[in-house]
Chains A and B, each alone.
Chain A
Amino acid sequence: GAVVSQHPSWVICKSGTSVKIECRSLDFQATTMFWYRQFPKQSLMLMATSNEGSKATYEQGVEKDKFLINHASLTLSTLTVTSAHPEDSSFYICSASEGGPGTDTQYFGPGTRLTVL
């Protein structure tokens, strides 16, 4: 089956620093990758959609200069939280779809727990 990995699985950082999270599709090429944020006991909220080789599309209310997304290859997308603050602490989840958007299934990574002190 399609497997998506994330690294790191958890990270603790000081306020003001930047943190990079990697999302990899291990056994398929991901045309599109998605980044979500999940608060405790709540649902997933889509942050942005990234396609390989093009700029990410951010959802309304998501600061693109704060959450930098790079989809460098068909198997790797990165999310960088710049100048992190305690309110950025959350569970960040990526997903990837292997085919064309709109009709394909998303496969989810295990998530990254970010804690900003």
Chain B
Amino acid sequence: AQSVSQHNHHVILSEAASLELGCNYSYGGTVNLFWYVQYPGQHLQLLLKYFSGDPLVKGIKGFEAEFIKSKFSFNLRKPSVQWSDTAEYFCAGGGSGNTGKLIFGQGTTLQVKP
């Protein structure tokens, strides 16, 4: 069965700390992977996406993610977090077939202390 799982449910960091949020997927075929962020009171925004090509993907606001096929992982990273990064982060996967459906991970709440 297709699934996306996020290991960390709640992460608390101090400003300037490095961030890595885990995401693992299980898909039968080619997969497209996404990271979305939901700031408090706002809608989901796309941080970055991977369809093919370079497995290291750079997104907005200094975020990046690495697709490691052998580990079925697509972890999100940021070298130095800011208080404004406090938000809910969702990893999502979609098959490259003809439906376009996304399966979301459980989400990770990131709290950055000033």
Q: Which residues of A line the B interface, CB within 8 A?
A: 32, 34, 42-46, 49, 57, 93, 95, 97, 100-111
Q: Which residues of B line the A interface, CB within 8 A?
A: 32, 34, 36, 42-46, 49, 51, 90, 94-107
Name 26 interchain pairs, CB-CB below 8 A, sorted by A.
A32-B100, A34-B100, A34-B101, A42-B106, A42-B107, A43-B106, A44-B104, A46-B102, A49-B100, A57-B99, A93-B44, A101-B98, A101-B99, A101-B100, A102-B96, A103-B96, A105-B34, A105-B46, A106-B100, A106-B102, A107-B46, A108-B43, A108-B44, A108-B45, A109-B43, A110-B43
Give A102 Cβ to nearest chain B Cβ, in Å. 5
Asked if B90 and A44 sit within 8 Å, CB to CB, the answer is yes
Give A49 Cβ to nearest chain B Cβ, in Å. 6
Name the residue of chain B whose CB is nearest to the CB of A33: B100
